[in-house]
Structures are given as structure tokens and as C-alpha cells.
Structure 1
């Protein structure tokens, strides 16, 4: 699979390394342009490449991993993503820690808002409930596999993300729709930052 990364920070790099480890190609992008990613691409190896956001968005599957305030700009110039599976890893921090403020979206969940900016995309919420230090290492432990909560409105899209993340070694758990399941794992949800292992 060819996986496009919108963002190239800690979360994007962790997911990219899992993907490359399992033979997938990765196209990384950021707001500063492909040249700024040359050292990272060299470090990641021959399955990694740098591109524009539009080039990353043309991949088989797209990962959105930018800070919340950057989302509108990150997706503004993208072509319509008809049917593309987009993994939304973001959290609705209107301002970052140490003095975080949660964006007020009314009745919308964070991923419903993201989906509204990506017409045609099949958005699946995942990875946002885990701290980066639980995403980057091998998710398979002696006591079990790292649980990965996910939510989405498209069953096939969720199955794609389940297969991919299970290949990485995670134990994906489907929580339902972006509205119901997404609320459980977004910043103010009861499963946010819950780091659990599943015994096989």
C-alpha cells in the first residue's frame, strides 16, 4: 500500500516507521515543502519519499497528523478525496499544552469536523487516544498487544484501518460511528489517553 502523510511530526513519523517496517511505501508532506523533509526521508530509507500535500493525498490511504489549528490550511488545497480512507489522528487542542484549551465544536466531534473539510473522504478516527510513546514502539508486548481505539462511519474504511494496524501489531477496537465512537476517544472522552493491552 502507498500511504500519504499530511504532517511529518512525531505521530506521523511513528506511523510511517510502522508502515515501512511492513513493506508499505510512505509519502511524507508538510507545510514547508519536500526539501525540508530530505533528512527524514533519508533516515526512513528507500520506501519513503517526500512530496507536496496533494501528492501525499493521492496515495492509497492518507494519514492526517497535524496540529489542530493547522488542519484547515493542511487540507485547503487538496483535490476531492473521493473514497480515500483518511486516518484522522488529530485532537481538538485549540491551544497546546501546558495550558491546553479544547476547541468548542458544539455537537460535532473532532473527526466529524475534519470530515466536513474533506468531502468524499472516508474518515476513520484512530491513534489520537494514545500518547506518542505508546505508538512508536512495537505494540506487541509480553502482556498483550496495545489496544487501538477507532471510529468511523464507513465499515469498509474501518476494516482497512483494522487490517493495517493489526499488521503493525496493534489490537484495533471498533467503537462505532464518528459521532458516538469519536466522542469516546476525543480529548474530553472517557477513553482518551487510556492505554490498555489486549491478551491474545
Structure 2
């Protein structure tokens, strides 16, 4: 599978390492263009490529890994997503916890990404923890997942499991996204392990 990533920071690179170790290819993109990523992709290995944001967004699964103040810019000029999966890994660090009835940050991302099946994931785990081995003697590190489209959510859970993590489904973007939203979510920043029996 080829996976697109909008962003090329620490989490994007950690994701690329884990995805390629599981046998996938990754297209990284950033605002400065593919040429600016040549050193980054060369250190990440032969299965990571630099591309434009449009090229990354054309993949069936795309990870949004940009700073919160760059979300609009990352998504605004992209065409309709046509049912492809957009994994929202962003955190609005300057925002406030959403009150009941107020859209979560991922619901706002879904409004910006026309036609995307948005899955909230990868935002509660730090890049250094994601980059490390998810397997421990006692179990596996957890990745929390929320989303309204069940097939897209299940497919991403499968990808996360391929990488060695344990995926836990929190429900839809409104309820699950609220639990994992940064700031304010009660599961935000919590390092969880699932104990294998």
C-alpha cells in the first residue's frame, strides 16, 4: 500500500518509519515542496518518497500531520476526497476543550476535507513513543482511533496493528474524538499499553 502524508515533521517521519517497516510505501509532503525533502527521505529509506501535497492526497489513505495553524492551508486547495481516508493526527494546542454540542477538532477537519472519510488517530501518542518499538514483554502500546465511517476506521486499525500497535476504537468523531482531543480530552497524552494474554 502507498500512504500519503501531509506534513514531514517528527510524527510524519516516525509514521513513515513504522509504515515502511510493515511493508508499505510512504509519500511525504510539505509546504516547501518535494525538493526540500530530499535529505529527509534519503535517511528514511528507499520506501519513502517526497511528493507534492496533491500527490500525497491522491493516495487511498492519507495522514494529516501538520501544526494546527496550518490545517486550513494544507487542505484548502485539495480537490474532493472522493471517499478516501484522511487520518487526522493534529492537535490544536492553542485551542480549548470542546464543550458538549461543539464540534471537535476532527469534525472541523472533516468539514474542510470535502468527501473525506476522517479518522482521528496518532494524536495522543508522542512522536518519540510512536517511533519506538510498540511491543513490550507485557504487551503493546495503544493507538486510539475514532471515526464515523466504520470500514475506513477498521482499515486504519488494521494498518496500526500491522505496525505492532494495539488499536482501540473509541467510537465516532463526536464522542471518541472528544475523548482523545488535545487539549481537554481525558485520554489525551495518556500512554496506554494493552496486555497480551
SS of match in other structure, 2:185: coil
How far residue 60 of structure 1 moved from its aligned partner, in angstroms, is 2.0
For 2:162 and 2:20, the matched residues in 1 are separated by 12
- Any gaps of 5 or more consecutive residues in structure 1? 94-100
TM-score by length of 1: 0.93
Structure 2 matches for 1:164-183, cutoff 5 A?
Answer: 164-183=159-178
SS of match in other structure, 2:120: strand
2:87 is matched with which residue?
87
How far residue 130 of structure 1 moved from its aligned partner, in angstroms, is 1.1
Q: Which of 190, 193, 196 does residue 194 from structure 1 map onto?
A: 190
TM-score by length of 2: 0.95
Q: Are 2:113 and 1:126 equivalent residues in the alignment?
A: no
Instruction: Provide the aligned length of Structure 1 versus Structure 2.
Output: 193
Deviations 1:51-82 (A, max 9, x none): 11000001121000000000000111111111
For 1:193 and 1:112, the matched residues in 2 are separated by 20
Q: Decide whether aligned partners of structure 1 residues 104 and 143 sit closer, same or farther in structure 2, where only a CA change above 3 A counts.
A: closer
1:161 is matched with which residue?
156
Q: Are 2:55 and 1:55 equivalent residues in the alignment?
A: yes
Structure 2 matches for 1:1-200, cutoff 5 A?
Answer: 1-93=1-93, 101-103=94-96, 107-187=102-182, 188-200=184-196
SS of match in other structure, 1:81: coil
- Whether the 8 Å contact between 2:119 and 2:146 is mirrored in structure 1 is yes
Q: How well do the aligned residues superpose, as a CA RMSD in angstroms?
A: 1.2
